[in-house]
Structure 1
């Protein structure tokens, strides 16, 4: 089981009883808990029940040597960054190279010096603590940004510069809860927030199941982006899933009927804002039209542009019904739109 105490636990792996005793006394005097294994094989067995904060491993041992043990530890994700100190009386550079190549962090020489052991071990543990803190921050931040944006950030960090804006073809989906303003006036904030969070969470899951990503939340809806060869198909499938899940989550006391709009077209994708606060997003007329179609949709309607209908083509899993030329707010001319519905085959294929 994992060590949850404040006192650090160090695993000592050495086949010599006297070396184990000396190292254990040094570590205990420095207020460390000590786990002792007299072989690499025994150490691996003990790790089924314990997760040490660091390892001190003798290089030369019968059977599996210390360098091989170090390699096996690094192959386990839970020990990929755990401090590993190798202990040796050898002065062979080839041994050092092999040990560092498989992931050893540092060496301590025999005979052991308490000052050197505690200083090097303490330094490695501080670095490990810093790494774990950064990893916790990274994981928590990842919850607030889409995987696509995270990939862009990681690439830009490697290049040491932000990627320039680029024009590309995407399919945009907007969702919106109808009557949200009136609903917010009737429900306690905590109840409203809980239901909105559950509803939007289900929408986000549907987006990622269908190879899209969430560009932003809009309070009572989302803006999702789909790209790739099947972008229109993915967006339509996602919209139907969202509607089905919303129907399954329907609550008479907290009605949350949805409207969805989908359009495909050219956008500019890039970073918006200043150096202190950036937002990676897509902008352009195609985004605006998708938002307008969402606003045009009635309760429980999915409205798509003619471009989306043509891009999906003759696919028996979707029904594009009620074609008409509608006047959309902000556009000078009427545009052709459809309502998207599932047919029986599509409904049977959607997840329950």
Structure 2
């Protein structure tokens, strides 16, 4: 964080007092380090604030004509001056007067006669807080701009996707491409939804922080907590937007009959943890649990992005279908290596799959939740990605009233395309 000493210009300080001796004392304290302006009446103080926009005002309470309370009220009522920090400097030691000043928007009270060290420390603390809040606002605005920019990019990419669908619909692969477009839209809903939820949470916290600032009740712990949430939230938004970009890139490659997603070597435990972390904003809305039992040191050379799509579909399927009417749902992710093959298991303790539904689960657009959040594409996408892209197999075991276990068997090393 930038310190006050790093600022390119001096902070501006306005001293308002009808007694010249008090102005002289405060000028002698702050003159060497600040640009100090002076006013001897409330009216003059309002004029200086309008013209010079000081960073902080040291304001006497008892003045002839317009007193300090009225000056404070008027400054806080005007949009151009409401953010100026006001510290009352008064000979009164009345808690009721201090309470009234804080209600009007003042940030602190200093008693006369002033102690140079105390007044310098309090002014410095308020200026540091003001500078920190400006940085937070700038960071928040930058984050909003990044989200808006990436949203425009996604909207443009989605429009390209729709245009591609129209152009390719006249070919023999019309039905396949229509299903592909629906699949991509289905996949995009999760990262975009997670990004929007994280952005909304940040906005809510920012508004809460602003209320504390306006009320003069902001604590350093509140600011630290907000900064920590801002870092975590921006990371979640970035991860989900990147995942959406990968999905759109995959569609473009498939539509143009290009090579599929790049393969790389990765740790299965770390990859699964990242996928579950990315899903966490949407999963927190439900009282269920995802437990990860992936052993350490299990390394694959495959396509982690595609594997992520498979796991996202399976976890979402469990939350949508398995746990209806329950609050103790559990999804367990585990894995075991058998020679040159790895079996990744997604198991839930939910309602299980009815026999009449079991034989249709891989059919495109078949769902028991059509119109209630289901598209009928989840398991169809899983089977297609596992068998066609990852070179593996899908096996499903289910017992009604007990739960469902989905086994994804994959090669440790995905063969390169010929």
Q: Is TM > 0.5 for Structure 1 vs Structure 2?
A: no
Please tell me the TM-score bracket, short chain as reference. Answer: 0.3 to 0.5
Higher strand share: 1
Higher helix share: 2
